[in-house]
Amino acid sequence: MATRKSKSIVKRANTAVIVPVYNSLATLQELIDRLSTSLSSYTKDFEIILVDDRGPQPVWPIIENAGQADSRIKGIRLSRNFGQHAAISAGLELANADWYVVMDCDLQDLPEDIPKLYQHAVEQKLDSVLAFRASQSLRRRRKLGSTIFNKMLEKLADIPATSQIGNFRIFNDAMAKSYRMYPEKMRLFPALMGHIGFEVGQFDVTRPDRVEGESNYTFKKLFQLGFDSIVSNTIKPMYYLAGFGIFISMIAVLLASFVVIRALIFDIQAEGWASLMTVVMLMGGIQIFVISFVGIYVGKVFFEVKDRPVFIVAETSNIETVAS
């Protein structure tokens, strides 16, 4: 089943909320109820699209039961775990609305903030409004991982990133259509949305503590996501490596000149196999590192040209058309 060519729900909603669901079994029904109440405060024409990203917990029966009770609650079940950002892409691909909201499923993004984001976007005539976490609490390891992740994106990929802004935002159909135009397989939702442009504002929200469990983004996963995002969005590290190579070459020329001058003027011969082997091993290690880094870029190109789908839909609930 293809992804990019999929067409979606025939009827156009005012607001579509896309929620990638991974675990959160204990809070999912509460999330659905609070979303329905919050969206009903400003429109009856909404849809809640819950994307089951195949976590360990059985959330699909809850999504199906909610859809049977209210046809505006729609479900997408992926064939396997494709990751949060692929799940967001699945929801956006199969949604059809004037406004879109993307949020997490753990109740740290408050459903009650959606009407505020919508009102701010309409009143200020903005294409998108980002939920700015004016207050939040993170554990020490999670905060360290998030800080490193954001600094990597800022310094190496020129992607504005902060722990105070995540996926939670509202944006219009023009931005959604633009997002669907991006063909790359390695996706970081906030990075792509930042690349699209348009008129974007912010609105302060409060981010409460997690109700259940811990974040699935461990330090290792955040580092891996940050590294993949860098090599998928920029070649800036290659310029740094080129500059480093020039720097090493200049040092080598200076050292060689120093050795020659000592030998010619002061008749001091260079000695020491240990120092020579150390330099050789150092340069060999640098060359292997640089070649490996280039190989990672080549590997990313390899995966892109294979043109595998970003996600595969196994089944849906209350979605009328999923075209191949």
Residue 322 placed within a domain: no
The rounded distance, in Å, linking the Cα atoms of 324 and 4 is: 9
User: What pLDDT is stored for residue 136 in this prediction?
Assistant: 59
My answer on whether 149 and 295 are in the same domain is no
Residue 286 placed within a domain: yes
Q: Which residues pair with 97 in a beta bridge?
A: 13
Q: Which residues contact 132 (CB under 8 A, 6 or more apart)?
A: 164, 165, 202, 203, 204, 205
Residue 3 placed within a domain: no
**5-9, 15-19, 105-109: which is most confident:** 15-19
- 115 in Cβ contact with 101 (< 8 Å): no
In the predicted model, is pLDDT for residue 37 greater than 60? yes
Helix H or strand E segment including 50? strand 46-52
Confidence class for position 52, pLDDT limits 50, 70, 90: very high
- How many domains is the chain partitioned into structurally? 2
Range of the domain at 113: 13-232+313-317
Judge residue 140's burial from the number of C-beta atoms within 10 Å of its C-beta, 0-12 exposed, 13-18 middle, 19 or more buried.
Answer: exposed
My answer on whether 140 and 265 are in the same domain is no
User: What pLDDT is stored for residue 4 in this prediction?
Assistant: 42
Residue 145 placed within a domain: yes
My answer on whether 168 and 219 are in the same domain is yes
Confidence class for position 97, pLDDT limits 50, 70, 90: very high
My answer on whether 49 and 173 are in the same domain is yes
The rounded distance, in Å, linking the Cα atoms of 98 and 128 is: 12
My answer on whether 70 and 37 are in the same domain is yes
Measured in degrees and rounded to the nearest 5, phi and psi for residue 149 equal -55, -50
Residue 73 placed within a domain: yes
The two three-digit tokens of residue 16, written as one number: 């579509």
The rounded distance, in Å, linking the Cα atoms of 189 and 27 is: 24
Residue 96 is part of a domain; what is its CATH number?
Answer: 3.90.550.10
My answer on whether 42 and 143 are in the same domain is yes
Measured in degrees and rounded to the nearest 5, phi and psi for residue 22 equal -135, 110
Mean of pLDDT values over 92-100: 94
